[in-house]
Structure 1
């Protein structure tokens, strides 16, 4: 069965990368989460997609220039102002602690392609081990040096390269860096690539799959997982297909 991973939580209906979005994704029936990690000035791991806080909070500036204390004062509701209460930017600790009480898997994307956060891999791995989640975490990044470094530090935690463009025989590349899967943009995951990868024992989890036609296609080809903003819609389509 194709798993449904909620992209930044239930981002279609709730503020992305907040505890609210993660908890609502679980309620909507997602099998797992996808989230992004950056690092504060004082070396704390926080869950936010952009290097800057401007798009998703009422603050301005780079995450790396904020202390954790100041970052937690920001309101992460951004375009969901109708919500009754302020949402904080969560720490990775907060998410992993909550996750350990669920059965969900989690794809942690290291956001270190633009700003090279020194020591990020070690810190993420230590936290994953602390919460005994090594068998439920996938570490991904567009920075493939970083995920290879992660694998060398913790071969028990799965890694997956993110691919924004199509790659020739991506399953061979994944095997070469000891990844059990890869996460391509959905346009870079045509049926033949998905099928050939699965036949080679390599999992394919495309992002960000929101179109109904693309969800239907990927479920049909038995893709390993889809990363989507709308886990409820994806679940509905998956159930409809399996009932046919």
Structure 2
């Protein structure tokens, strides 16, 4: 055996054993963040499978099902009002081919009478309330309800207005910054650093890399929430690519990478809450909670509440 292998193999072996040991006992190196809330049931767009998405009626319906988290997306109107809307362009939601930012709040059109549920293709939601709602209205109506606010574009005015609203309603601890882009998240954190925040896509890949090379137990994690799609919904209710072959490949690879109980348990023990979206079937609820996830985001809060209550009764 060469001198290099003579020293390298024992060192590598010791590193692997130490990494595995600390992966299971992360509190030996890190003090976990104590969350202000534990979201078991999250309502996607306010519960867009049961009422028209992002309307006050949808939020009220989710509250009736004892939701723990409202998942929202925000846009900014021409007159500087923060409204709850997934799309910037209103064509899908309202049939009007205009951007939110090109209209004043009072000019915003009503939602269509029915909207297809994005993560349940072929299913449609209806409701008596067709009005778009201001984020401020939700903060006033549900002052202590945790909410996740996703920012899709690099609109600094929108980010600062949301940060200001959160501060004025004294809800920094229960409002989560969410964004797919790290550049946007950087601006969000600067605008209100007191708010907990989620992993972005690039940070999620970095997390997985650290986990598989064994460095995750040694690295600090500033994020407080890991909100991720459940790989088993790809090619069933979630189609990220236009080609079925790519969706099948994505499903296989992401399932192998993400659905690791040891990873989720490690994050949970370090105070990072793991939430899978957007699950609308009981079999997917079961998979998520059996992996050790903190919670689930769904379009159907009534179905998830029924599942959680039955699961608690069985336990």
Residues 75-101 of structure 1 show CA distances to partners (whole Å, capped at 9, x for unaligned) of 12441699674521111111111121x
Cα distance in 2 between the residues matched to 1:4 and 1:82: 19
For residue 156 of structure 1, what is the aligned residue in structure 2?
A: 194
Q: Name the SS of the counterpart of 1:167 in structure 2.
A: helix
1:96 to 126, 139, 149: 139
2:231 counterpart of 1:190: no
Cα distance in 1 between the residues matched to 2:307 and 2:157: 41
Q: Name the SS of the counterpart of 1:107 in structure 2.
A: strand
Q: Name the SS of the counterpart of 1:160 in structure 2.
A: coil
TM-score calculated relative to the size of structure 1: 0.85
- Equivalent residues of 2:91, 2:98 under 8 A apart: yes
2:269 to 196, 199, 205: 199
For residue 111 of structure 1, what is the aligned residue in structure 2?
A: 152
Give the number of the structure whose alpha-carbon radius of gyration is greater: 2
2:250 counterpart of 1:215: no
Instruction: Note closer, same or farther for the CA distance 1:83–1:195 as it changes in structure 2 (3 Å cut).
Output: closer
TM-score calculated relative to the size of structure 2: 0.67
Cα distance in 1 between the residues matched to 2:71 and 2:274: 14
Question: Which stretch shows the higher mean deviation, 41-50 or 141-150?
Answer: 141-150
1:228 to 286, 289, 298: 298
Residues 166-185 of structure 1 show CA distances to partners (whole Å, capped at 9, x for unaligned) of 7353485xx76721122111
1:20 to 57, 68, 80: 57
- Equivalent residues of 1:17, 1:47 under 8 A apart: yes
* Structure 1 or 2: more helix by fraction: 2
Cα distance in 1 between the residues matched to 2:101 and 2:52: 21
Cα distance in 2 between the residues matched to 1:154 and 1:166: 22
Q: Which runs of 5 or more residues in structure 2 are unaligned?
A: 1-37, 116-123, 232-253
For residue 121 of structure 2, what is the aligned residue in structure 1?
A: none
For residue 76 of structure 1, what is the aligned residue in structure 2?
A: 111
Cα distance in 2 between the residues matched to 1:9 and 1:76: 14
Spell out the pairing of 1:3-18 with structure 2 (5 A cutoff): 3-18=40-55
Provide the aligned C-alpha RMSD in A.
2.6
